[in-house]
Structure 1
Amino acid sequence: MRAPSLRLKVLESITDVPAAAWDALISPVAPPFVRHAWLSAMEESGSAQEETGWAPHHLTLWRGDTLVAASPAYRKFHSMGEYIYDFSWAQAASRMGVPYYPKLLLGAPLSPATAPRFLVAEGEDVGEARKALLKAALESAREADCSSVHVLYPTNEEADFLEGQGLARRMTLQFHWKNPGYRTYDDYLGRFSSKRRHQLRRERGAAAEQGITLRTVPGTEFGREHAKRAHDFYAATCERYSWGQVQLTPDFFARVFRAMPESMQLVEAVRDGKVVAGAFNVVSPERLYGRYWGCFEEHPFLHFNVCLYHSVEECIRAGRKVFEPGAGGEHKVARGFEPTAVHSAHHIFDAKLDKAIRDFLRRENAHLAPAVAEAEQLAGLKPWPLEG
């Protein structure tokens, strides 16, 4: 017997699908950012809604009453919170008289981390499901008067698929700490030159000299005050910079802490019994994701201690393989974070604008390899395992 044909349903809220059905499509080791609870917290808290420029437009494929594939998707009315920067593309579109917004984005709001964008049930034909979801994305984007379709931070395999389907592929650099098998924090330090080791020890030791103690609070120990504290950290950093924009509401943190505490943690810096700085991190069995940090007092090297060194040691202790501290930050290279390519794929409906963007990406990619080589040289990490 032939299996029933697939039926597309576009959802205007992630809550229109049962959490169990959505999460059944996701591997247990997948990043938390594609889980139903994370997306629900984004939307139900008002952080990712049409009023904030993120109109939910989730693509779901059903076989009868069974959800068999899905893509988290949003119609976007700006380019904030994506970290695959296309502001210049929007400006080029304006000069050409082509509306750039809204656009259709496949990905998770405010979450610059690689994660599956085509969620497919076990037993389904993955290739066919991906093609069906991509077709649905392109067709529904046109119907919704979107200028384009953008798939942000897909897995490498998904990026290969999208490129094979004719989308323009873009590579962007992030800087990730990778654990080749360290047993101790000294193993990590041993990969640097003597001069660099001295620098890192001096920066790490600054916290104790300042009377600051660092601690990690797991989500399973959170109280109501931790959600407020996490939002305060986040808002403090956003408000410090002219380009910063507070997009997450306090209710987002309250919801996500309550719904998935096993995937949450806070790093807190305490001085004289008072929390003076901290970072909100997300964890999976194999990875740590640095999300937001903030401080209420300024101290030398406090940022490095809260956001980098403390969590590196925690990763070694927990045996995590990778620490992704977020977008940007070339300063991370000198501290052992390696240049790592992340991907996106793009299809612009206007043929002239599409050609101009593809020409831009060819030039951009030509500069990427030298940038990686320069970053690797700056890092200067000794090969692992160390000799002797």
Structure 2
Amino acid sequence: MELRFIRSIRHIDANAWNACANTDYPFLRHDFLLGLEDTGCTTANAGWQPYHCLLLDDDHLVGAIPAYLKTHSYGEYVFDWALADAWQRSGLDYYPKLVSAIPFTPCTGPRILIHPQAAEPRAVTGALIQGLQKEAEEIASSWHVLFHSDADQCHFQNTGMHERQTCQFHWFNHDFANFDDFLATFSSRKRKNLKKERAKVDQQNIQMTTIEGEAITPAICEQFHRFYQITYAKRSGHGGYLTQHFFTELLPNLRDQVLLVFAYADNTPVAGALYFKDSNNLYGRYWGALAEFDGLHFEACYYQGIEYCIRNGLQHFDPGAQGEHKIQRGFEPIRTRSHHYICDKRFDAAVGRFCQEEVDHVRDYQAAARDLLPFKREG
């Protein structure tokens, strides 16, 4: 078998890559990752140089791990600024580093791709992990695998990698018939508060519309880019990580896995939320608005997403990273995982201690967050 690293996903056949991914998880699809490259989001100049790891057997792809050579830590959502600072204070370079993640997308999913007909899946997995560790030792300070699935968890144990955890807030569909059925699980006071919040949108004469399928046009996506850019500029002082071409060229090509929620005032679009979806999950990704409207962010980004899941039988809604305000709206705290390989053994033990302390903290934080959920208490 041959291990190979490629600097663009266009160097591997789309069907071969997608066969290894073997999932409708949207962010691992060849067209999504290639679209990030073609629209200028993942390039060396952007600090996201594609560096995907492939394993081939007689020129047939049997396994892969997506990877990027990073020259900064933006767009990852597993924060390692303290590690970068420690390296710098020691007179060493933390960048470049290798990162196996979906750029700008803190959504849990597969990171180890094995062809379903691979003769020896364990051997393929081991070769990929060992190959990336060796490559990191040659060209980088470290290798980081972010937001990997629970199924990948066992593969990173006993490999010299340290586990980190974070806490996110996700919604789960417990066979709800409609939104009121979901609200019936809330305590009386919390239910009234949520209804009042949703009523604020109606009181401002704002109409909500879901847009999907053939309606995901370049013009609609260009309008959303305007929302996105204005909101990013207000919050961060820049226009966002994603280029205009990401929205106007890539999203229409991915329309079957894209959902837009638009808000209209006097028949004029004033705000929107972008989601991705697969057969079982909804992923809330970006939000933007031309102006501030009371309660509209929660309506577009959370309640419309919940209603869409219920209508379409989706079982899980991941609205994105962070946000304790999601708890009172029925999003449950869940732990996400990443693994980290430190090439310089002088730092390895210290990073291991830090990660273990962080895991303990996240476990306690999750337990405390569960106590704040709005659901009725049993007994």
Fold conserved between structures, TM > 0.5:
yes
Is the Cα contact below 8 Å between 2:273 and 2:287 reproduced in 1? yes
Quick check: 1:55 aligned with 2:43?
no
Residue correspondences, number: 378
Q: Deviations over 1:91-140 (max 9, x none)?
A: 11111222100000112111111111111101212221111111111122
- Determine whether 1:45 maps to 2:49: no
The aligned residue for residue 231 of structure 2 is: 237
Show structure 2 runs of 5+ residues with no match.
Answer: none
Match of 1:109 in 2: 103
Question: What pairs with 1:320-359 in structure 2 (closer than 5 Å)?
Answer: 320-359=314-353
1:130 to 111, 125, 128: 125
Check conservation: 1:219, 1:266, Cα contact below 8 A.
no
2:292 counterpart residue number? 298
- Opposite residue 331 of structure 1, the aligned amino acid is H
Deviations 1:45-96 (A, max 9, x none): 1111000000110111111121111111100000000001111111111112
CA–CA distance in structure 1, aligned partners of residues 63 and 103 of structure 2: 20
Match of 1:16 among 11, 22, 33: 11
Displacement of 1:8 in angstroms is 1.4
- 2:64 maps to a residue whose letter is A
**Aligned-partner Cα distance in 2 for 1:152–1:249:** 23
Equivalent position amino acid for 1:375 in 2: A
Distance in 1, matches of 2:124 and 2:225, equals 38
- Aligned-residue Cα RMSD (Å) equals 1.5
SS in 1 for 2:236: coil
**1:79 maps to which residue?**
73
Asked if structure 2 preserves the Cα contact closer than 8 Å seen for 1:265 and 1:280, the reply is yes
Paired residue for 2:245?
251
Q: CA deviation at 1:20?
A: 1.1
Is this contact kept in 2: 1:159–1:169, CA < 8 A?
Answer: no
Partner of 2:184 in structure 1?
190
Aligned to 2:217: 223
Please report the TM-score for the alignment, with normalisation by the length of structure 1.
0.94
Give the TM-score normalised by structure 2.
Answer: 0.96
Q: Which residue of 1 aligns with 2:302?
A: 308
Distance 1:116 1:243, change over 3 A: farther
- Rounded Cα–Cα distance in structure 2 between residues aligned with 1:349 and 1:360: 16
Pair 1:245–1:35, CA change in 2 (3 A): same
CA distance in 2, matches of 1:50, 1:245: 19
Identity, % of aligned pairs? 37
Match of residue 273 from structure 1: 267
Report whether the alignment pairs 1:382 with 2:376: yes
Give the superposition deviation at 1:244. 5.8
- Name stretches of at least 5 consecutive residues in structure 1 with no aligned partner: 1-5
Q: Distance in 1 between matches of 2:148 and 2:320?
A: 15
The alpha carbon displacement at 1:222 in A equals: 1.6
User: Are 1:279 and 1:291, in contact at CA under 8 Å, matched by a contact in 2?
Assistant: yes
